[in-house]
């Protein structure tokens, strides 16, 4: 069964749970709302790849959904889209390539050091959140899970490449000789990238709700309310796709730096059998539209 089929089945299940909860809890202390939200913040990856230093970037998204509130209890379900760009800063790493031929026909071993390297990945995905929590006065919290389907991803790599060489018939280390391709070059290349198709995140959200008549009561004259909060999403599943057949960099036979192809670390042999977890935290703004009800829900808490 395809990933999309699994996602459709789970979406239907979450919708049935929300509908059942809404039917069961229909009374004078229950409210139903449609909501839309926007969020933005800091993206990162947490991994155990020895050659990586840290990852940081930014992203944001939007979505819509349904909220049920019964007394203190809150249930949220919806669908959203997130997009983020993350820079992975790498430690200096040297690749030694034997059998290269210079401009004069001599064979040498090239030493290619990738310094100040950034592996940049762009990822867009659909989220289906199922969150539960509570509201106390103006303050609220939500915890739960978000099922993600990764749809859009691409990558590029930027680095300083420091090239040195050693010859079989000459002594010493050759460097700072541009006519022999020895020196420092700033290089940027496109790269393949891959992630697991499905991602499951644990989520925590806390914040402040306003636009209420009283601390614990909807304003019947103003059915639109707002909330702003901080959130944190952590990827429970390993995002490593297992596609680790690319080298960290591919060097042409003539050692020409301009023809080097750098590959994102996540699809390189350095990431084989490694753990990669998504991490996203930031600020979320939500608008709630209270649905009409036969019973005027004041949602007073005791």
Q: Where are the domains of the chain?
A: 3-290
What is the predicted pLDDT for the residue at 18? 55
For residue 300, pLDDT over 60 is answered with: no
Percent of the chain with pLDDT over 70: 84
- As a dihedral over the C-alpha atoms of residue 212, residue 232, residue 123, residue 156, rounded to 10 degrees, the angle is 130
For residue 209, pLDDT over 70 is answered with: yes
What is the predicted pLDDT for the residue at 212? 54
Q: What are the backbone dihedrals phi and psi of residue 17, each rounded to the nearest 5 degrees, phi first?
A: -60, -45
Confidence of residue 206 (pLDDT cuts 50, 70, 90): very high
In whole numbers, what is the pLDDT of the chain averaged over residues?
86
Confidence of residue 302 (pLDDT cuts 50, 70, 90): very low
DSSP strands (E only) in the chain: 30-47, 52-70, 73-90, 93-101, 107-136, 139-167, 173-174, 183-191, 198-210, 224-235, 249-250, 261-262, 276-290
257 vs 64: CA distance, rounded Å: 48
pLDDT (mean) for 210-237: 76
Residue 93 CA, chain-centre distance (Å), reads 25
Max Cα–Cα distance, the chain, nearest Å: 93
pLDDT (mean) for 145-154: 93
Question: 151: which DSSP letter?
Answer: E
What is the predicted pLDDT for the residue at 9? 65
pLDDT digits (tens, 9 = 90+) for 6-54: 555 656 665 556 555 555 545 557 888 999 999 999 999 999 999 999 9
For residue 301, pLDDT over 50 is answered with: no
For residue 217, pLDDT over 60 is answered with: no
pLDDT digits (tens, 9 = 90+) for 58-105: 999 999 999 998 888 999 999 999 999 999 999 999 999 998 887 788
Of 300 and 64, the one with more pLDDT? 64
pLDDT (mean) for 142-166: 94
Structure tokens at 131: 């969150």
């Amino acid at each position: 069964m395809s990933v999309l089929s699994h996602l459709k089945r789970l979406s239907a299940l979450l919708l049935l749970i929300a509908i059942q909860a809404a039917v069961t809890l229909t009374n004078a202390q229950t409210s139903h709302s449609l909501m839309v939200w926007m969020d933005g913040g800091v993206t990162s990856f947490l991994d155990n790849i020895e050659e990586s230093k840290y990852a940081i970037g930014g992203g944001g998204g939007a979505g819509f959904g349904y909220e049920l509130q019964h007394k203190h209890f809150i249930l949220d379900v919806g669908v959203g889209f997130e997009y983020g760009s993350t820079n992975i800063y790498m430690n200096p790493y040297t690749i030694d390539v034997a059998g290269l031929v210079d401009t004069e026909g001599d064979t040498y071993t090239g030493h290619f050091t990738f310094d100040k390297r950034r592996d940049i990945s762009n990822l867009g995905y659909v989220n289906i959140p199922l969150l539960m929590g509570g509201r106390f006065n103006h303050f609220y919290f939500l915890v739960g899970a978000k099922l993600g389907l990764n749809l859009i991803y691409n990558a590029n790599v930027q680095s300083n490449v420091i090239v040195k060489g050693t010859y079989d018939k000459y002594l010493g280390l050759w460097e700072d000789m541009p006519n022999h391709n020895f020196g420092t070059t700033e290089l940027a290349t496109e790269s393949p990238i891959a992630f697991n198709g499905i991602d499951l995140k644990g989520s925590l959200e806390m914040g402040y709700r306003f636009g209420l008549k009283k601390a614990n009561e909807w304003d019947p004259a103003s059915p639109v309310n707002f909330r702003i909060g901080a959130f944190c999403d952590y990827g429970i599943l390993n995002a490593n796709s297992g596609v680790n057949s690319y080298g960290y960099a591919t060097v042409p036979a003539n050692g020409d730096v301009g023809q080097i192809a750098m590959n994102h670390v996540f699809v390189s042999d350095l990431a084989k059998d490694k753990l990669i977890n998504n991490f996203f935290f930031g600020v979320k703004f939500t608008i709630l539209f209270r649905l009409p009800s036969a019973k005027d829900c004041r949602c007073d808490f005791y």
